[in-house]
Amino acid sequence: MLSLANTYNMGEVKDFFQRVKNGLEGEEFEIVAEMKYDGLSISLTYVDGSLVRAVTRGDGEKGDDVTANVRTIRSIPLQLNQNAGYPHEFEIRGEILMPWVSFEKLNKEREANEEPLFANPRNAASGTLKSQKSELVAHRQLDAYLYYLLGDEIPQDGTHYGNLLLAQKWGFKISQGMKLCKTLADIEEFINYWDVERKNLPVATDGIVLKVNSLRQQRHLGFTAKSPRWAIAYKFQAERACTRLNEVTYQVGRTGAITPVANMDPVQLSGTVVRRASLHNADIIAQLDLHIGDMVYVEKGGEIIPKVVGVDKSQRKEGMQPVVFISKCPECGADLVRVEGEAAYYCPNENHCPPQIKGRIEHFISRKAMNIESLGPETVNDYYQRGIICNIADLYDIKVQDIDGAMGTRTKSAKKVVDGIRNTVNVPFERVVFALGIRFVGESTAKLLARRFKSMKSLMEAGMDDLLEVEGVGSVIANSVISFFKSEENLAVIKRLEEHGVQMELEETSAGTTTTKLSGKSVVVSGVFTQHSRDEYKLLIEQNGGKNVGSISSKTSFVLAGDNMGPSKLEKAQKLNIPIINEAEFLKMIE
């Protein structure tokens, strides 16, 4: 699933309009304007009129299967209207939302039960959809609007507008107020109308989406790597509130980064009560020339956490004190440091500062790292407080009797925790590298490091030059990796992980060549795939002796094409007579 490029003013919308005009070489075109819903993207697949699969966006390539939960959402038809002429199989994408009324009701219930509140309807919808209990999902009354039809059997010569009207006939809810625009003035009128009127809609919207209407013209304009050239989002200006700053407190993150937080008088903002807002870093505080007692402007953009964007200095009174950034860690008292060229201050006491220790353990157990589902932040906190764990290796020493009874656990769930930890010996090396929580080493960098160095031993021994050879690794990441492996404490933890059987090497199949079926072949991978992610296909090509190349040339052996392959690539491949094969053909080839 791709995303949309954003615009924030009419000037940028005008630029988009002009780009479309140029791309279509003067041909007439129409633009469909529709609401931009602020929920969770979903992809629904229907076969013979029945909903067969619902998948979340995930990272854009791979999402979660949430079919059972989606089946409980009333506005998503389980069975399409009979005789409505729907295709045998198609996919429809849209947004799942929690209506304002359900959101407010839910937060009231949570407040009464002393449970943490959801910050906004999007988070509430997302949390709900992840629930294991479909009855609970049904109870929370989610809603859905659909905005994009795709599949081989969808009429390719029609219009987006026409397709959405068809979808409506089949039984889906589509954008409120959808309008066909011919001129920029039509678009501006739509934006101005909905900027005000959206406040009366039952669900959250954060802008409008503009799409070229003709599907033929959409194909002609094609896609960039991230988004279609035939569509754009216009984001409404974030709502702003003004309130008093009472105090600045400081949070310590897993990597020791210090985040200043503004604590303010509660104020209503975009449907929720806001009391705290991020101040990001010391530079922002200085730029704002922030004083305690100031009346500050708070905005909530697309982010969950609101931010302070300005100060009403006309309301400042004499004697108010400027905010002075702390010099010592609020959790452990260590002197803070600031790395040259970076905005954040850090607490350097990584092995003894409690939020850093707990944060690293939480990161280690998280879904994209070791994925220990039987543990969560509260359990980590509890075990840490009780002295059971103080680093990630300690997890592997936990015995059922250590935690039996902790936080009300029974033997059965204590055993589940221990088994969950033991099972991580099967987690592939790439994820182990990510799980270590090396500063600046995200999921994809960890993968690249694991594939390049193939074992913990050689990653530990890697020097600056070796690291800089890895795609996307610059001196900041390289320095961070080197200093991570310089720490005696980190080395001791890794040694213990190894003794417990955690994977310290890339598995045979992902490390080396497994077949020579593609030897000598240069392959371009383009588009969006269903059976494997694009990265997995790239790996499969390498494992079978082939070479991945970024762009098509006369030397390209073939293009492995998924959905929505870029039109310029398609044109070039056709011009050079390069074979284009789909994923099924490819998988057969390397079978």
Subset of 193-222 contacting ligand IVH (CB under 6 A) = 209
Q: Which of 31, 32, 231, 380 binds ligand IVH (CB under 6 A)?
A: 231
245 or 561: whose CB is closer to ligand IVH?
A: 561
- Choose the binding region for ligand IVH from 226-234, 266-274, 395-403, 448-456 (rule: CB under 6 A): 226-234
**Cβ(65)–Cβ(53) under 8 Å?**
yes
90 or 147: whose CB is closer to ligand IVH?
A: 147
End-to-end CA distance of the chain: 27
Strands 239-252 and 295-300: antiparallel
Subset of 472-511 contacting ligand IVH (CB under 6 A) = none
DSSP assignment string, 74-85: TTS-SBPPTTS-
Q: Shortest CA distance to 218 belongs to which of 20, 368, 358?
A: 20
For the bound state, the minimum distance from the C-beta of residue 394 to ligand IVH, rounded and expressed in Å, comes to 40
Is residue 234 near ligand IVH by the rule CB under 6 A?
Answer: no
- Which of these is catalytic: 21, 36, 307, 317? 36
Is residue 233 near ligand IVH by the rule CB under 6 A?
Answer: yes
List alpha helices for 223-332, DSSP H. 282-288
Q: Which of 66, 95, 121, 164 binds ligand IVH (CB under 6 A)?
A: 95
Using DSSP's 3-state secondary structure scheme, residue 253 falls into coil
**Cβ(127)–Cβ(42) under 8 Å?**
no
Tell me 226's DSSP state. S
Q: Which two tokens stand for residue 508?
A: 């045979």
147 or 586: whose CB is closer to ligand IVH?
A: 147
- Choose the binding region for ligand IVH from 1-9, 103-111, 434-442, 491-499 (rule: CB under 6 A): 1-9
Size of the site for ligand IVH (CB under 6 A): 15
Using DSSP's 3-state secondary structure scheme, residue 237 falls into coil
For the bound state, the minimum distance from the C-beta of residue 228 to ligand IVH, rounded and expressed in Å, comes to 5
Q: Which of 7, 41, 217, 255 binds ligand IVH (CB under 6 A)?
A: 41
Subset of 117-176 contacting ligand IVH (CB under 6 A) = 147-148, 175
- Choose the binding region for ligand IVH from 2-10, 130-138, 162-170, 538-546 (rule: CB under 6 A): 2-10
- Choose the binding region for ligand IVH from 31-39, 239-247, 381-389, 536-544 (rule: CB under 6 A): 31-39
5 or 261: whose CB is closer to ligand IVH?
A: 5
Using DSSP's 3-state secondary structure scheme, residue 564 falls into coil
User: Token match 């094969």: residue?
Assistant: 581
203 or 470: whose CB is closer to ligand IVH?
A: 203
Q: Which of 29, 37, 161, 484 binds ligand IVH (CB under 6 A)?
A: 37
1 or 267: whose CB is closer to ligand IVH?
A: 1
Is residue 2 near ligand IVH by the rule CB under 6 A?
Answer: yes
User: Token match 């079919």: residue?
Assistant: 67
Please give the angle made by the CA atoms of 390, 392 and 394, to the nearest 5 degrees. Answer: 60
For the bound state, the minimum distance from the C-beta of residue 233 to ligand IVH, rounded and expressed in Å, comes to 5
Q: Which of 32, 36, 363, 578 binds ligand IVH (CB under 6 A)?
A: 36
- Choose the binding region for ligand IVH from 227-235, 335-343, 426-434, 470-478 (rule: CB under 6 A): 227-235
Strands 522-526 and 337-338: unpaired
Is residue 429 near ligand IVH by the rule CB under 6 A?
Answer: no
Subset of 513-572 contacting ligand IVH (CB under 6 A) = none
Q: Which of 77, 228, 260, 306 binds ligand IVH (CB under 6 A)?
A: 228
Indicate the angle between helix axes 100-112 and 121-130, nearest 10 degrees. 70
Using DSSP's 3-state secondary structure scheme, residue 322 falls into strand
Q: What residues form DSSP beta bridges with 581?
A: 560
212 or 421: whose CB is closer to ligand IVH?
A: 212
34 or 542: whose CB is closer to ligand IVH?
A: 34
Residue nearest to ligand IVH (CB): 41
Distance, in Å, from the CA atom of 313 to the CA atom of 291, rounded to the nearest integer, reads 10
**Cβ(270)–Cβ(44) under 8 Å?**
no
How distant, in Å, are the alpha carbons of 5, 166, 207, 209 from that of 8?
A: 10, 31, 9, 12
Q: Is 36 a catalytic residue?
A: yes
Distance, in Å, from the CA atom of 287 to the CA atom of 516, rounded to the nearest integer, reads 59
- Compute how many other C-beta atoms are within 10 angstroms of the C-beta atom of residue 335: 10
How distant, in Å, are the alpha carbons of 453, 471, 521, 543, 552 from that of 548?
A: 19, 14, 9, 11, 11
203 or 369: whose CB is closer to ligand IVH?
A: 203
How distant, in Å, are the alpha carbons of 104, 105, 117, 465, 555 from that of 110?
A: 10, 9, 6, 53, 61
For the bound state, the minimum distance from the C-beta of residue 195 to ligand IVH, rounded and expressed in Å, comes to 16
Q: What residues form DSSP beta bridges with 524?
A: 559
**Interface with ligand IVH by CB under 6 A: which residues?**
2-4, 34, 36-37, 41, 95, 147-148, 175, 209, 228, 231, 233
Q: Looking at the annotation, which residues are catalytic?
A: 36
